[in-house]
């Protein structure tokens, strides 16, 4: 069995990619309010700061910063996945293994986690999060994708509204991360 090692830095900042099991599904955008509510509930019980987030039809990327002294992102993801899954009708196909374990067939079992190392790493990952709708052909400019923290960061003055509007932003620093 593989030995999955997670880096845990109390109060750290982490980049995540979380996928649906069925990669052709549109479950996240079809049930975006359910996902948002699951995140709200978990943040109320186990606080964390959302630095940025983009939700695509079948996967999502985000950056979180945990409270000082706290490195437990795993329980937060488990709680988000559980809360979201409880709101979705049971229409997915289940393998015999998942059925025997009482699991749903919504999520990939694991997720990608990367501990942010420094300001340059942070900036590259924030850009990667926001460029993803273009990368996947879901929008012609970043501002057109509604399920993104990009809009909040435009309001805060971090990005110009037309950032990557013509597809000219290069994704060299962060494109190797995530899916």
CA 53 to chain centre: 6
Rg (CA), the chain: 16
Written as six digits, the tokens of 13 are 């900042």
Quickly tell me which residue has 């606080």 as its tokens.
47
Q: Are 77 and 111 in contact (CB under 8 A)?
A: yes
Residues 6 or more apart whose CB falls under 8 angstroms from that of 144 comprise: 133
Torsion of CA 106, 110, 116, 117, to 10 degrees: -170
Q: Tell me, yes or no, if 147 is annotated catalytic.
A: yes
Active-site residue identified among 73, 147, 159, 177: 147
Could you give the residue numbers annotated as active site?
Answer: 147
């Amino acid at each position: 069995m593989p030995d999955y090692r997670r880096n845990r830095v109390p109060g750290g900042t982490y980049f995540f990619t979380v996928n649906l099991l069925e990669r052709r599904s549109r479950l996240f955008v079809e049930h975006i309010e359910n996902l948002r509510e699951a995140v709200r509930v978990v943040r109320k019980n186990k606080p964390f700061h959302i630095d940025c987030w983009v939700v695509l039809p079948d996967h999502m990327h985000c950056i979180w910063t945990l409270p000082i002294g706290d490195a437990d992102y795993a329980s937060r993801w488990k709680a988000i996945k559980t809360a979201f899954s409880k709101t979705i009708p049971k229409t997915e196909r289940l393998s015999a293994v998942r059925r025997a374990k009482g699991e749903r067939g919504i999520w990939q079992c694991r997720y990608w986690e990367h501990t942010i190392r420094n300001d340059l790493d942070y900036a590259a990952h924030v850009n990667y999060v926001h460029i993803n709708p273009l990368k996947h052909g879901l929008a012609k400019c970043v501002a057109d994708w509604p399920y993104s923290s990009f809009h909040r960061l435009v309001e805060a003055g971090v990005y110009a509204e037309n950032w990557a509007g013509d597809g000219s932003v290069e994704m060299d620093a962060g494109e190797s991360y995530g899916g």
